[in-house]
Amino acid sequence: MSLWQQYLRPQSLADALDALSALGDSGGAVAVVAGGTDLLLDLDQGRHSAVQTLVDVTGVAEMLEIRHVDDFIHIGAAVPLREVIDHARVRAHATALVEACELIGGPQVRNVATLGGNVAHALPAGDGTIALLALGAEAEVASEKGAIWIRMEDLFVSPGEPRFDRAHELVVRFRFPALRDHEASAFRRIMRPQGVAIAILNMAARLHVDGAGIIQEARLAVGPAGPRPLRARAAEQAIKGNKLDEATFSRALDALSGEVSLRTSPHRATVEYRSHLLKSLLKQTLEVAMSRVEHAV
Ligand SMILES: Cc1cc2nc3c(=O)[nH]c(=O)nc-3n(C[C@H](O)[C@H](O)[C@H](O)COP(=O)(O)OP(=O)(O)OC[C@H]3O[C@@H](n4cnc5c(N)ncnc54)[C@H](O)[C@@H]3O)c2cc1C
C-alpha cells in the first residue's frame, strides 16, 4: 500500500502554509517532507502515524537560501546538507556545523537531507542540531499567523517532540551570529562503527577568546544527554573567564557531569561507557576549538 495518497510541492512559503492550514483544517493527516531520510523510514516502519498528504518543502524559495545578513548567517531549513557543507560563508563562520553535516549519513543522504528535518525530528543527539545549538542559533518558525524566532534551546519538548506543531508550522530558516575575531567552533562525535545513525555521544563548542588567552564566551552543546538536545550552561560558566588549562578543564568536566543525564541504550552504549567518554570528548572538542582560535589570530 502507498505510504501517502497526495503529494504537494509548493514553491513559496505562503503556498506551503496555505496547504498545511487547509489540509489540517479539513482533518486530513498531513506531514511536511524535506529530504525524507527520517520521515519515510518512520512511515514505512510504523513510527509515524499514517498520512494522507505529504507537503514537500524542497521547492519553497524562502527555505533554500544561505545569506549573510548584518551580523548573522542565515541558512534555509530546506537547503540540502551537501550545499550547507560546500557553502563558503558556512565554512568561514561555522566549522562545527560543517563538521557535523559531513558526518551525517553517506553522500546519498547528505544530497537530500536538510537541517530543518534534522532539527524537526527533535532527537537529543541530532548532529546538525547539536552544532546549531553551540553556535547560538535560533530557528524561524512560521504558521499562517506569522513567524517568530525561537532559540534552539527552547525548541524541544521531549525526544522526537519539537515545541512547534509539525502539521501546521514550518521551520523556515536558522540564523546564528557570524564569527568575530578570536572566535572558532568545533564538533566531535563518537559513533558505533556499524550503521547506527545516532551518535553514542556528540558535542560542539564555540569559543571567543581574548588576546591574553582568556575565554570571554563559551557555548557548549552535547547529545544524547537528556530528553532534549542539551546546551551545557553550567559547563559554559565553568569555562568562561578562564584560560583553557587543566584546572578549567577539570571544573568544566565536573559541571558538565552534573548537568548531563546519560543513559544506557541497548543498541549503542551503556551509561558507564558514555560517562567515561564525556571526559575525552570534552577535552578534544574544547582543544580543537581553542587551537582554531589560536591559528586564526
Ligand atoms: C542512512 C542514514 C544515516 C543517517 N545518519 C545520521 C547521522 O549520522 N546523524 C544524524 O543526525 N542523522 C542521521 N540520519 C537522520 C537524517 O538523515 C537527518 O536527521 C536529516 O537531517 C533529516 O532531514 P530530512 O530533510 O531528510 O528530514 P525529513 O525526513 O524530510 O523530515 C524529518 C521530520 O522533520 C519534519 N520536517 C522536515 N522539514 C521540516 C521543516 N522545515 N519544518 C518543520 N518540519 C519539518 C518532517 O515532517 C519529519 O517529521 C541518517 C539517516 C539515514 C537514513
Cα atoms in the Cβ-side hemisphere of radius 13 Å centred on 31: 20
| Cα–Cα dist 110/103, whole Å | 9
What digits encode the pLDDT tens for the residues 189-216? Answer: 998 876 667 899 999 999 999 999 999 9
- Residue of minimum CA distance from atom 21 in ligand 1: 118
Q: Which of 7, 83, 104 to mutate to test the pocket of ligand 1 (most atoms within 8 A of CB)?
A: 104
Residues 6+ apart with CB under 8 A from 172: 13, 62, 63, 76, 77, 140, 141, 142, 147
How does the average pLDDT of the chain come out, rounded? 95
This model's pTM is above 0.95: yes
Helix (H) or strand (E) holding 217: strand 215-223
Cell numbers representing residue 53 in the block = 498528504
DSSP-derived pairing of the beta strands 215-223 and 201-209: antiparallel
List 215's β-bridge partners, or say none.
209
Q: Is the pLDDT of residue 297 over 80?
A: no
What digits encode the pLDDT tens for the residues 40-95? Answer: 999 999 999 899 999 999 999 999 999 999 999 999 999 999 999 999 999 999 99
Residue 296 pLDDT level (bands cut at 50, 70, 90): confident
Cell numbers representing residue 228 in the block = 532534549
Residue 232 pLDDT level (bands cut at 50, 70, 90): very high
CA of 115 to the centre of ligand 1 (A): 7
Domains and CATH numbers, the chain: 6-56 (3.30.43), 61-177 (3.30.465.10), 183-296 (3.30.390.50)
| 3-state DSSP assignment of residue 121 | coil
pLDDT of residue 194: 67
Cα atoms in the Cβ-side hemisphere of radius 13 Å centred on 220: 29
pLDDT of residue 192: 83
Give the rounded percent of residues in the chain with a pLDDT score beyond 70: 97
Pocket of ligand 1 (CB under 6 A): 31-39, 57, 77-78, 103-105, 109, 113-114, 116-118, 120-121, 126-128, 166, 170-171, 197
